[in-house]
């Protein structure tokens, strides 16, 4: 059993205490709004460079085909076309992307452009760069690619069967990863059960979120330093750099990531490192800045989608009173044609193994396969959503089989408030919650008691009224240490985020974040926390907009994804501000002749003696003294 | 054989300022605004006329500028988000969007604002239903529609904090 910081003996408690008026939790105007409502934000396609080329990708019309020839000559003859990039060049100038899976799944070769073979509709085959967007599309139409269609693998349930076509020569049976999860004592649960409910097949379909701003980048190459500046809306630069550095055969410091405003992310903008490598190669080859702005059609066709998952041969041992003892399932997850962030999804679901329920005995045979579809990536509720949908389907089906009301069977099986903090069968800790009460409140809000009456009323008007209940919880932030469960050779551990909070010479408080916000108000919330700690106004705090890996402090897992700003991002802000506050107090105490920092306090941009508020040192003086 | 016309000189008044440019006849108005004039407040979300992020007002009519050629705007009067606060003082709609938290990422916001301005220009006292109809061509993916409707209603009533 793993050690945790929260235990039954040491639960998380919120101490009732008198709180001085502050800014955390207050409704304050957003710092971001003024520029955004005036159209003065800087989104990636707003970045312009002299002589910049616009890039259009020629994409595969086939799900699976061998590439027997590429001819770009007609495209390059067009006036205003600056050049092209094809798979052969990519294979010569880069290494395949680093793989998270152990062999053989991890042996697959993934490049920025298709090399010799296409494996999904929309896979980039050739990149064309020209003086305008329109011209780049014209030129792309003139690129001739010869394909020899191959049998596509479309059905994940059959992907691993013998005789099925193979996507990657290195990956037998199209099987990326397989693992068995066995928590509690499933056999004992079977023996104890009054009944075993069996569900042959449940299917969670492939899906995709749709940020209103498509993916994109403006990439510049500095020939003198060998460094790329990547203006992009990639939402997880820490991961992109880990992927891109080895591929481009450079150290991470050669990849400077910059973003200001990002028009939504939802996970779709995590795995753009593939296109970004193509952009880096083009910027270097063409000796000019290059712009790639994904067309919406391309975004729908071939951005990173959310994983499709099958739950097969499900067994649920239950007691006669509806108490569920556990579940057993064979799960097949489809990651699409390449494993970019995968197979992390094979383990991420386990953060919420039991969902909201007390069942303790779980046996899962989990297989991830590749198919000829667009590669998957983390997407809104990554991997947990599929699993939580599965637990909710189980409980409704079990309820129906036992003739129990969906509310009743949920309440009977919920983890109870007095069991918090609750350790799940696989050692995760739920810190708090009263799920039955939450459900009651939701039912009250929709006036659940009147549903039958409203149903009859609807029917009388020729309409049907249905009711469904879903109760889920979710884990916030990632623990990359989990990756060692899919590949013990990986050295990733935990998680991190960084913030810098400084006092400039004229007393300005300035913060930089490692995050890449996409509308989550990081500038505002960070300023609230800083203001609270330093006892100033959020208006007195400048938080630099966006991310710049040269300007801002950042860490290996910097970015904005997995709901982690509230925990790691703001945690870093708070920690940095507290250190700054301590230094300001030390300076103030020394200058004001106090015996210790206990005798001074921060108030409105001054350090003041508690016994004599007239004895005050402004932040400006503190900044100047240590300048 | 007659060569097709590929380029044309156009003159467009945008936010009170006249711009004359040679443009390709196939140039979309939104790319004319963004790429030729660097008025990047107008955004492209879908390039298929569905999302409304590129909404501007042409001769008093709210249009999706990815659905109009630049040459079609020749001689017309165009209003974009950059014209809403010419002296830096926010338009009541802009202030309302901020006050009512009617934006998150801000990408759809310029188009929403222009659709809303078009509504209030023609109907100063809209009902909630009329507000919803006015922005039905504008998609927000952070899903703040409720707050957006409240913001427009408040701006119409002059109840902006």
- pLDDT tens, residue by residue, A458-485: 999 999 999 999 999 998 888 899 999 9
Q: Which of A 133-152 lie inside 8 A of B, CB atoms?
A: 133-134
Q: Do B104 and A213 touch (CB under 8 A)?
A: no
* Residue A43 CB-density burial (10 A; 0-12 exposed, 13-18 middle, 19+ buried): buried
For chain A, what is the largest distance between any 2 Cα atoms, rounded to a whole number of angstroms? 85
Q: How many angstroms separate the CA of residue A594 from the nearest CA in chain B?
A: 44
- Examine the pLDDT at A237 and tell me if it is beyond 90: yes
pTM attached to this predicted model: 0.95
What pLDDT score was predicted for residue B100? 95
Element holding A4 (H helix, E strand): none
Under DSSP, is residue A391 helix (H, G, I), strand (E, B) or coil?
Answer: helix
Pairing of strands A326-334, A509-513: unpaired
Q: What percent of chain A has pLDDT over 70?
A: 97
- Examine the pLDDT at A320 and tell me if it is beyond 60: yes
The residue assigned the tokens 């078009």 is B118
Residue of A nearest to B99 (CA): A29
What pLDDT score was predicted for residue A227? 97
Q: How many angstroms separate the CA of residue A51 from the nearest CA in chain B?
A: 12
What pLDDT score was predicted for residue A612? 94
How far is Cα of residue A366 from the mean position of the Cα atoms in its chain?
22
Q: Do A33 and B53 touch (CB under 8 A)?
A: no
- Examine the pLDDT at A139 and tell me if it is beyond 70: yes
* Residue A603 CB-density burial (10 A; 0-12 exposed, 13-18 middle, 19+ buried): middle
- Examine the pLDDT at A538 and tell me if it is beyond 50: yes
* Better pLDDT: A27 or A581: A581
Under DSSP, is residue A394 helix (H, G, I), strand (E, B) or coil?
Answer: helix
What pLDDT score was predicted for residue B125? 97
DSSP A253: G
Using the Cβ of B142 and the Cβ atoms of chain A, whether some distance falls under 8 Å is answered with: yes
Residue of B nearest to A300 (CA): B46
Q: How many angstroms separate the CA of residue A306 from the nearest CA in chain B?
A: 17
What pLDDT score was predicted for residue A589? 97
Average pLDDT value for chain A: 94
Q: How many angstroms separate the CA of residue B144 from the nearest CA in chain A?
A: 11
Using the Cβ of B45 and the Cβ atoms of chain A, whether some distance falls under 8 Å is answered with: yes
Mean pLDDT, rounded, for A153-180: 97
Q: Do A43 and B107 touch (CB under 8 A)?
A: yes
Q: Which two tokens stand for residue A102?
A: 């152990």
Mean pLDDT, rounded, for A260-282: 97
Average pLDDT value for chain B: 96
Chain B hits for A42, Cβ within 8 Å:
40
Identify whether the C-beta of residue A368 lies closer than 8 Å to the C-beta of residue A100. no
Q: Do B103 and A33 touch (CB under 8 A)?
A: yes
- Examine the pLDDT at A91 and tell me if it is beyond 80: yes
Sheet holding A124-130, edge to edge: A81-86, A124-130, A53-59, A290-293, A216-222, A227-232, A255-259, A547-548
Mutate to test the interface with A, among B53, B86, B106 (most CBs of A within 10 A): B106
Q: Which of A 212-231 lie inside 8 A of B, CB atoms?
A: 212-214
What pLDDT score was predicted for residue A505? 92
Pairing of strands A541-543, A429-430: unpaired
Chain A hits for B84, Cβ within 8 Å:
37-38
Residue of A nearest to B97 (CA): A37
Range with the poorest average pLDDT among A432-441, A492-501, B58-67, B117-126: A492-501
What pLDDT score was predicted for residue A528? 97
Is the complex ipTM more than 0.95? yes
Chain B hits for A43, Cβ within 8 Å:
40, 43, 107
Sheet holding A326-334, edge to edge: A175-183, A361-369, A326-334, A308-318, A195-204
Using the Cβ of B31 and the Cβ atoms of chain A, whether some distance falls under 8 Å is answered with: yes
Mutate to test the interface with B, among A27, A30, A37, A41 (most CBs of B within 10 A): A37
What pLDDT score was predicted for residue A4? 46
- Examine the pLDDT at A19 and tell me if it is beyond 60: no
Q: Do A36 and B34 touch (CB under 8 A)?
A: no
Q: Do A45 and B105 touch (CB under 8 A)?
A: no
Q: How many pairs of residues across A and B have Cβ atoms under 8 Å apart? A: 114
Residue of B nearest to A517 (CA): B105
Q: How many residues does chain B have?
A: 161
- Examine the pLDDT at B87 and tell me if it is beyond 50: yes
pLDDT band of residue A17 (cuts 50, 70, 90) is low
- Examine the pLDDT at A12 and tell me if it is beyond 70: no
Q: Which two tokens stand for residue B31?
A: 């790319």
Q: How many angstroms separate the CA of residue A367 from the nearest CA in chain B?
A: 33
For chain B, what is the largest distance between any 2 Cα atoms, rounded to a whole number of angstroms? 64
Using the Cβ of A298 and the Cβ atoms of chain B, whether some distance falls under 8 Å is answered with: no
């Amino acid at each position: 059993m793993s050690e945790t910081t929260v235990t039954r003996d040491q639960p998380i408690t919120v101490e009732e205490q008198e709180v001085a008026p502050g800014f955390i939790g207050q409704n304050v105007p957003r710092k971001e709004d003024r520029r955004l409502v005036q159209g003065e934000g800087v989104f990636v396609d707003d970045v312009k460079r002299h002589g910049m080329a616009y890039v259009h990708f020629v994409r595969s019309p086939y799900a699976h085909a061998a590439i027997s020839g590429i001819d770009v000559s007609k495209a390059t003859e067009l006036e205003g076309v600056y050049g092209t990039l094809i798979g052969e060049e990519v294979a010569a100038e880069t290494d395949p992307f680093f793989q998270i899976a152990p062999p053989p799944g991890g042996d697959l070769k993934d490049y920025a452009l298709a090399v010799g073979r296409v494996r999904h509709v929309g896979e980039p085959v050739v990149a064309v760069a020209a003086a305008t967007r329109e011209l780049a599309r014209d030129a792309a139409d003139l690129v001739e690619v010869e394909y020899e269609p191959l049998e596509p693998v479309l059905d994940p349930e059959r992907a691993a069967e013998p005789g099925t076509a193979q996507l990657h020569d290195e990956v037998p049976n199209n099987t990326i990863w397989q693992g068995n999860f066995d928590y509690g004592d499933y056999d004992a649960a079977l023996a104890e059960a009054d009944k075993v409910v069996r569900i042959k097949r449940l299917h969670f379909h492939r899906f995709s979120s749709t940020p209103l701003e498509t993916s994109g980048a403006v990439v510049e190459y500095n020939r003198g330093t060998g460094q790329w500046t990547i203006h992009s809306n990639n939402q997880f630069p820490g991961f992109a750099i880990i992927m891109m550095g080895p591929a481009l055969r450079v150290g991470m410091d050669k990849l400077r990531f910059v973003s200001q405003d990002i028009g939504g992310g939802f996970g779709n903008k995590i795995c753009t490192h593939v296109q970004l490598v193509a952009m880096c190669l083009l910027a270097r080859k063409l000796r000019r800045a290059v712009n790639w702005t994904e067309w919406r059609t391309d975004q729908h066709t071939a951005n990173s989608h959310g994983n499709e998952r099958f739950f097969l041969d499900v067994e649920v041992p239950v007691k006669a009173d509806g108490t569920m003892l556990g579940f057993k399932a064979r799960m097949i997850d489809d990651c699409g044609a390449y494993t970019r962030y995968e197979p992390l999804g094979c383990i991420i679901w386990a953060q919420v193994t039991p969902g909201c329920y007390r069942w303790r005995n779980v046996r899962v045979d989990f297989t991830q396969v590749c198919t000829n579809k667009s590669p998957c990536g983390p997407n809104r509720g990554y991997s947990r959503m599929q699993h939580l949908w599965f637990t909710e389907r189980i409980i409704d089906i079990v309820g129906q089989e036992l003739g129990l009301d969906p509310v009743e069977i949920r309440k009977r099986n919920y983890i109870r408030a007095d069991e918090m903090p609750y350790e799940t069968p696989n050692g995760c800790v739920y810190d708090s919650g009263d799920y039955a009460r939450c459900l009651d409140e939701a039912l009250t809000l929709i006036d659940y008691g009147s549903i039958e009456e409203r149903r009859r009323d609807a029917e009388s008007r020729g309409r049907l009224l249905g009711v469904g209940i879903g109760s889920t919880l979710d884990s916030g932030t990632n623990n990359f240490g989990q990756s060692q469960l899919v590949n013990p050779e990986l050295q990733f551990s935990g998680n991190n985020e960084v913030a810098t909070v400084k006092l400039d010479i004229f007393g300005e408080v300035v913060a930089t974040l490692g995050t890449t916000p996409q509308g989550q108000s990081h500038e505002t919330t960070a300023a609230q926390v800083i203001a609270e700690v330093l006892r100033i106004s959020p208006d007195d705090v400048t938080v630099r907009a966006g991310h710049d890996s040269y300007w801002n402090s950042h860490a290996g897992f910097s970015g904005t994804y997995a709901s982690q700003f509230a925990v790691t991002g703001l945690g870093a802000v708070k920690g940095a501000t507290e250190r700054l506050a301590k230094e300001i107090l030390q300076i103030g105490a020394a200058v004001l002749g106090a015996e210790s920092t206990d005798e001074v306090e921060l108030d409105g941009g001054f350090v003041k003696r508690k016994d004599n508020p007239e004895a005050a040192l402004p932040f400006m003086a503190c900044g100047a003294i240590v300048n | 054989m007659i060569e097709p016309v590929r380029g044309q000189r156009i003159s467009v008044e945008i936010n009170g300022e006249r711009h004359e440019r040679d443009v390709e006849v196939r140039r979309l108005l939104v790319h004319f605004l963004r790429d030729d004039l660097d008025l990047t407040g107008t955004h492209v979300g879908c390039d298929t006329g569905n999302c409304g992020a590129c909404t501007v007002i042409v001769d008093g009519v709210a249009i999706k500028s990815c659905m109009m050629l630049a040459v079609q705007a020749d001689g017309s009067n165009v209003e974009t988000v950059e014209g809403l606060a010419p002296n830096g003082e926010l338009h009541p709609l802009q202030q309302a969007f901020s006050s009512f938290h009617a934006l998150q990422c801000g990408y759809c916001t310029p188009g929403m604002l222009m659709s809303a301005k078009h509504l209030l220009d023609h109907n100063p006292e809209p009902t909630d239903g009329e507000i919803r109809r006015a922005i039905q061509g504008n998609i927000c993916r952070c899903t703040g529609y409720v707050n957006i409707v409240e913001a427009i209603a408040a701006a119409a009533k002059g109840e902006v904090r």
